[in-house]
Structures are given as C-alpha cells and as structure tokens.
Amino acid sequence: MQPPSLPHFLTPAGRIIGWRDGTVVRASGIRYARAERFQFPEPEPAAAEPILATSPAPACPQVADPRLALAFGDFYTDATFDEDCLRLSITVPADRPPEEVLPVLVWVHGGSYVTGAGDVPLYDPAALVTEQRVVFVAVTYRLGLLGFLGSPSGTPPNLGLLDLREALRWVQRNIAAFGGNPGRVTLLGHSSGADAIAHLMVAEGTAGLFRRVIMHSAPLGLAPNRQRMVQVMLQAAGRLPPTAPVAEILARESSVTKAVRRFGLKSGMPFGTQYGAYPLPAEAELDQAWQAVAPSVDVLIGATREETRFFAVIEPKLRWLPRLPLLGAPLTQLLVGATSKRIYLAPAQAFAQRHARAGGRAFLFSVVFRPAGDTFGAAHTVDLPLLLGTQASWAATPLLANSTWEQIHQAGRQVRQLWADFARTGELPAHLSIPDVLTVEQV
C-alpha cells in the first residue's frame, strides 16, 4: 500500500500514484504504450495494480551531441536512457479543486529527431502550470534510427510519430481524471517537436485528438524533397538487427549522419518524418491535407528572429567566421539571416497563410528576445526559458549569458499568459507587441 498522503488519480488506465512538488502535483513516467524494437507501438492496457508515477520518464537512447553543452551545460542532469521510453509525465496545480476543468498542453520536445527527452529539467512546466491553470503533459518517444528511418521492406518509417499519436490517444482516454479537458487539448512543440506536430495534423488517425497547436521554430524548410537523402541514409544504416545491442544501433546512427553531409542544409536534420509512409500522405498530397484540416485546428506558429545563430555559435566549423577581422560580423549576420529565413521564418509564414486561406484560425509570432551578453542573440531555443524551466535549471546555461532569472521570468510571464489564453480559447489579439520579447499577428 502507498502512503495515503501521496496524491492519486483514478483513471481508465488504472489508479495512478503521483507526488507533490511545491505548488504542483506530478505524475511522472507513466507508460502510455509499449513497443518492440522497430515495431509499431501498442497501447498500454489498464493496470490492475496501482501505477507508481514518481520517477521521470527515461530518455530514448541517443548519440551524445557535445555541442549542446555549449548552450545548455549539463542538459541531461540525472537522466536515464532506456528503449522502454514510451512514457508521459503530467503536471497539475496542487490546489486544483475537483470541479475545476483545465485546458491541456501536450509538450513535444525537440532535438532534430535524435536528441532530447520530455522530462529534462530545462522543460519543467511548474511556473506555466501554476500561473496559468493548465494541465501539462510531457511526452517521450523514440528517436533516430529507433524512431525515424524506415523503408517499405524493412523497419516501418515514422515510428516516433506513431508513438506520439498513441500518447495523444492515452490523453484523450485519461486526462479528465487529472482535471484536464479532453476537448481542449493543445499541442506545444519546439524545433523537430514542432515539425512533428505539423505532421500529426495530417497523420491518419489523429482527427479529434487535439484542437489547437503551438509550433516554435519548426524547421519546415528542411522537410520537402528528402527522398534521395533518405535512400542514402538507408544504405548507410544497412540491415538493422532487432536483437543487436543498442550501442550498435547508435553506432550505425552516427554512420548515417556522416553519410549525408553532402546534402547541405538538409543534413542538419537528416532524420524526420517520411511522406507516403503510414500514417502520412504522399508529399504531393500534403498541401491538400493541411488545407482539409485547417477549419478544425487553430494554429499559433513562429520562430526567433535569428534562428540559425544558435548553430553558428555551437558548430565548430562555423565558429571561426565571427572572428574574421572587419568582415566577420556582417558575414555572420548575412548567413544567419538567409538560412533563418529559408529554414524557419518563410516556411512558418507560408504555413500560417495557407492555413488561414483554407478557413483556419492562424497566428504568426516572432521572438526578438535577446539575453544580456548577446552571444546567441535571438537564436534558436532562446524562447524556451520564457515558457519552461526554473532558475535552478537555466541559471548556469551559456545560452542565457548575463541575464538574471528575474529578467527572464518577467519577460516569460507575459508569453505564458498569451500562450495559455490561446490554449483556452484559440484567440489572441490581432496585433500584439511585447517590447524586446515578441510580436504576434493574426494572419
């Protein structure tokens, strides 16, 4: 028997035992599905015994990227890694009365489809949950060769996307027991997580699983015309034994990444969704599919003003450029401006405009916030601490440079309010500007 002081939730999935953490209650590491390696996810059956949900979800095994430390320090503080990673974690206000029904935010983490996890400390939603009275669900799913590369005769493609669909089905069945409204589910994603959300909108079997989407820094400019690169990736991966040690799978993943470097910008995110493979339409049918769902999904999409400055700072091959006498700064700015527009900014605007023309509600945002110190500027990921994380998790990160947590927290409070308002109603002001933070406009 569990101590009676621990909070519990009676759900169709079973009796879930959570834990109190200051102003929030958490239920962590709940299994939403199971999957054999390279196989489709199967929904987790209802548990006869109580589910002890007091440990973070493990991260999917992944190839370590030392460049991340240049922005985030120790990104994986206390993390564990396990292929049994199809888990989700739920955070709710500790003082929620039984009659209060709250909007639901489902977090899909980024990391180029090869790194990241739902429960890393930088993504702590406590401030968002407490201030804005929302239920927050963080999902962990399969990555890299384990989740995002396949062929008709081999490993099924899009397994990580199917993991996310299974998590959303779990949310629909169970979130009411946590005070969440299953009819008011908003997907919130960053980078590849936002890219995944865009494709969940048109994936088979997702109708009715969510009402709204918020997409930060989706690299939609890298998504088209990937067939040739995917074939090279499959050749480099070779036959993947389902019983091989996970270290061998990760070694193959490194080989795949090296094999596609000649594909230019697209090689910056070689793994991803594959069109024409279940559950996605063919690439030629994508625009029509997005238009068809537009009236039923509200969209808030945008990017930071200097997205690719992040990679100019952390990529060893590019770090020499800003140091060039006289020409370094202007050349860097030119390169950052051109690549940010191509990969993030122009595709986000086009996505919002198509959505609006098709009868959907669409808002476009631009994050201009720059941490004090200005190494990264208004770069990729600089918007994350405005929404998620704590002083303890972000204070030591190089990304925030000389900014104080109070500065970050106060700027973020306004963003959290707006994003929660969108999750509640689908509405935002037609034109809005928060000086030195962001702008939003209805399309």
Return the closest-CA partner of residue 91 out of 198, 180, 10: 180
Instruction: Exactly one of 44, 380, 393, 403 is catalytic; name it.
Output: 380
Label the pairing between strands 33-34 and 42-43. Answer: antiparallel
Residue type, 108: V
225 contacts 251 by C-beta, under 8 angstroms? no
339 contacts 222 by C-beta, under 8 angstroms? no
Q: Angle CA(204)–CA(210)–CA(212) in degrees, nearest 5?
A: 120
Return the closest-CA partner of residue 176 out of 138, 123, 137: 137
Would you give the DSSP letter of residue 59? Answer: B
Instruction: Exactly one of 28, 307, 393, 403 is catalytic; name it.
Output: 307
Secondary structure (DSSP) of 157-196: TTHHHHHHHHHHHHHHHHGGGGTEEEEEEEEEEETHHHHH
Question: Which are the contacts of 201, defined by CB distance < 8 A and separation ≥ 6?
Answer: 213, 290, 293, 297
Residue type, 303: A
Q: What is the end-to-end Cα distance of the chain in Å, rounded? A: 54
Instruction: Exactly one of 28, 89, 191, 192 is catalytic; name it.
Output: 191
- Report how far apart, in Å, the C-alpha atoms of 55 and of each of 28, 382, 404 are: 5, 28, 30
Whether residue 49 lies in the annotated active site: no
441 DSSP β-pair partners: 364, 431
Q: At what angle do helices 286-293 and 346-357 cross, to 10 degrees?
A: 60
Whether residue 315 lies in the annotated active site: no
Q: What are the backbone angles phi and psi of residue 287, rounded to the nearest 5°?
A: -55, -45
Whether residue 191 lies in the annotated active site: yes
Quick one: 320 exposed, middle or buried, by C-beta within 10 A (0-12, 13-18, 19+)? exposed
Structure tokens at 378: 């208004």
**Cα(93)–Cα(314) distance, integer angstroms:** 37
Q: Please, what's the b/e burial string for 226-240 (b: 16 or more CB within 10 A of its CB; e: otherwise)?
A: beebbebbbebbeeb
416 contacts 387 by C-beta, under 8 angstroms? yes
Would you give the DSSP letter of residue 366? Answer: E
Structure tokens at 233: 């990736």
Catalytic residues: 191, 307, 380
